[in-house]
Amino acid sequence: MIILVCSLSLTGTASAQSIGASLQGTITDSTGAVVPGTKVVVRNKGTGAKQEVVSDDTGRYHLPLLPPGEYEMEFTAAQFQTVIRSGVRLTVGQDATQDAALTPAGVSAMVQVDSAHETVDTTSATLSSLVTQEQIRDLPLNGRSFEQLALLQPGVTGALTAGNDPVGGRTPKISINGARPEQNNFLLDGTDINNVYNKTPGSVAGVLLGVEAVLEFRVLTNAYSAEYGWRAGGVVNAVTRSGTNERHGTLFYFHRNSALDARNFFDKPGDPIPPFKRNQFGGVIGGPIKRDKTFFFAAYEGLIERLGITGVANVPDDNARQGILPGRPPVTLHAAIPAYLNLLFPRGNGRNLGGGVAEYLFSRSQPLNERFVQGRIDHRFSDQSTFFGRYTISNGNVDRQPTNKAPIAFTKERSRNQYLTLEHQFTFSPTFLNILRVGFNRSTQESDNQRTIDIPASLSFLPGEQFGFLSVSGLVTELAGDFRLPRLDRMNVFQVGDTALVTRGRHDLHFGFQLQRIQFNQNTVSQRGGIVVFSNLANFLQGLPQSVDFAVPGKIDPVRGYRQWMAGFFAHDDFKLKNNLTLNLGLRYEFATVTKEVDGKISNLRNVTDRQIVTGDPWYQSSRSTSRLDWDWRGIQREMARPLSEAVSGFSMTRFCRSITSSQGV
């Protein structure tokens, strides 16, 4: 993949793929002349950490990476009053500007300014939206799944056709600017956390917990820096909370039940409303281990839900059980069919739909449990060297009940997601900063059919095998479970990346690499026990199937272990031509190795007439290269009293850089 990013920005710079913010500005005197050699000190109010930089010959200073939070700034220059500016709030992915106008030293040696309302973000070519910590914790969220807030951002919509099943993930999918859900990239502290099917992360419970553990996140929709890669859609970049010099914590408990629920349209008249109880509880705590040096933050959240499910299944009516169907002569039931009718199809208790079909209404309890734990440690070795580590784990399980077929089986689902990030930042000089990040994403999802009745071996379609699945057109599809199960998917993504940020005169340079080792381990048996399909109810009663599909017993090898390397290299330059004119240039190159199976179990049938197959072939041929060209122009008037003008244009052409999981769950 090759990505070329080119943008023209008045008073502009491009943001880096980091979990922090950049801060820049120009120092002038009361006449508007630049003041070189000004010492700029930026101090984090929460942790006490500080960074220093000196303005260059053009009066410009630049701090390329600061953690999100509230800051105090101090501007000091010989023969000028010291300016202290407080209330400077920086957010994830922000490119903020803080100019300063110094006045000659006089009676007062210091000028203090509250700048809480003056931090501006007009320099980034990236089209993005910020979801603040106040929005995350104060807006009502059904299920407390923080990724729902991405839907409030421009260009982000729900991908309703993306599916919600054991293959693909249960968390609701999103589309950014029309891209497919698997084309989005979800980052937590800079680490890829996409699910095992390369889509929205989350558990089998359908939620992405951690509202109290996430500080804020930014949704990047277009024209983002060359430091972001792997996907052609958008990026959801979240950062976690860290401890400060003040110990702080929160306890929470949320409860929902069916006491005030209205009756569902499908609920059986006269029956009570199906019971519903949801309990979500937990807490967070953070603070110093050693003041100004080492900090911790820990979070826990539990989710226990018991949801009453109302289902409506189609079953043969009483006449059909006797072979009597409307509009045609009676049919003679095959000798084996009554046993299937009596065991697999309950008698109708709802409306008669005609054609020999009646409704069967039922209710079942759907138990759901999830546990979420996160811990983070931040340590400052010195003003030049900092480190943090964060580990997240969530376990979920649910007994998912069917709603459109007789409740003789349900899907038992289990998930475990683990995310690890280790990051070290080292400042070699005020103009040279390096970031080394190591990450790990292990996502596991397991699903299987659980039968609620004992089906005797005499009803199995294949001797010695369990009962399979039954489909009758107009009546039921895959009765007795999901033919794709059992299925166990595990994905390990080992990640390492390094970014260098260098300031040289008018150039702010970012360059580095990202490397991923992907392991996708799969154990799945499809069509176990066979699938027998009947074209209509009459043929089913007569035992005349349309098709029979099955996995040959004793010939199944369901275990696969796929392996792949992915690498990305990038370089980015923010070239400041004038104080109000910046040229942003970026180049990214990506490649992915062809997927291999550890035991050579991939095979291709090259032609339908071939009598032999070749094992050990690659899954697919090498991906073609990808290029993207963006052009962005922004004009910002110097005087805020004058109208604000802004124009943005862009063009991109991208080919998908294929990964192992790109075809999973599609």
Which pLDDT band holds residue 111 (cuts at 50, 70, 90)? Answer: low
When pLDDT is averaged across residues 258-263 and rounded to a whole number, the result is 85
Position 228 scores a pLDDT of: 87
Supply the pLDDT for residue 374. 98
Amino acid type, 631 = W
Note the Cα 194 to chain centre separation in Å: 5
pLDDT, residue 85, reads 93
Poorest-pLDDT segment among 157-171, 273-287, 368-382, 453-467: 157-171
Q: What is the pLDDT of residues 327-367, one digit of tens each?
A: 899 999 999 999 999 999 999 999 999 999 999 999 999 99
pLDDT band at 373 (very low <50, low <70, confident <90, very high): very high
Q: 13-122 belongs to which CATH class?
A: mainly beta
* Residue 442 three-state SS: strand
196 vs 632, which has greater pLDDT?
196
Q: What's the whole-number mean pLDDT along residues 246-269?
A: 88
Mean pLDDT along residues 204-212: 92
Amino acid letter, 251: L
Question: N- to C-terminal Cα distance for the chain?
Answer: 22
| Element at 341 (helix H, strand E) | helix 337-344
Asked if 430 contacts 486 with a C-beta cutoff of 8 angstroms, the reply is no
- pLDDT computed for residue 19 by the predictor: 79
Beta-bridge partners for 389 = 377, 422
Tell me how far CA of residue 659 lies from CA of 57, 61, 167, 251, 655, in angstroms: 47, 41, 17, 41, 12
The per-residue pLDDT for range 184-206, each reduced to its tens digit, is 999 999 999 999 888 899 999 99
pTM here is 0.87
Measured on CA atoms in the order 332, 337, 338, 344, is the torsion positive or negative? negative
**Range list of β-strands (E), 540-595:** 547-549, 559-578, 581-592
* Cβ proximity of 401 and 364 under 8 Å: yes
Residue 71, pLDDT score: 95
| Residues ≥6 apart with Cβ < 8 Å to 350 | 268, 312, 358, 359, 360, 361
**Confidence check: pLDDT of 4 > 50:** no
Q: How far apart are CA 515 and CA 567, in angstroms?
A: 4
Label residue 127 by pLDDT band (50, 70, 90). confident
Q: Note the pLDDT tens digit of each residue in 490-511.
A: 999 999 999 999 988 888 899 9
Q: What is the mean pLDDT of residues 448-470?
A: 93
Core vs surface per residue 485-507: b (16+ CB within 10 A) or e: bbbbbbbbbbbebebbbbbeebe
**What pLDDT does residue 649 have?**
43
Task: Place 143 in a pLDDT band, splitting at 50, 70 and 90.
Answer: confident
For 238, how many CA atoms within 13 A lie in the half-sphere containing its CB?
26
How sure is the predictor about 37, in pLDDT bands with cuts at 50, 70 and 90? very high
Q: Is the pLDDT of residue 74 over 60?
A: yes
Q: What is the dihedral of CA 113, 115, 121, 122, to 10 degrees?
A: -50
Average of per-residue pLDDT values in the chain: 85
Percentage of residues of the chain with pLDDT beyond 70: 84
In this prediction, residue 13 has a pLDDT band, given cuts at 50, 70 and 90, of very low
Chain segment 599-610, per-residue pLDDT in tens: 988 766 666 676
Q: Domain spans of the chain?
A: 13-122, 313-353
Q: Is the pLDDT of residue 96 over 50?
A: yes
Residues 572-585: tens digit of each pLDDT: 888 888 777 777 78
Tell whether the model's pLDDT for residue 617 goes beyond 90. no
Q: Does the pLDDT at position 520 exceed 50?
A: yes
For the residues 130-137, what does the mean pLDDT come to? 88
Q: Which two tokens stand for residue 526?
A: 């499809």
The answer to whether 654 touches 232, Cβ cutoff 8 Å, is: yes
Beta strands in 294-408 (DSSP E): 294-316, 352-354, 357-380, 385-400
Q: According to the model, what pLDDT value does residue 619 have? A: 53
Residue 647: is its pLDDT beyond 60?
no
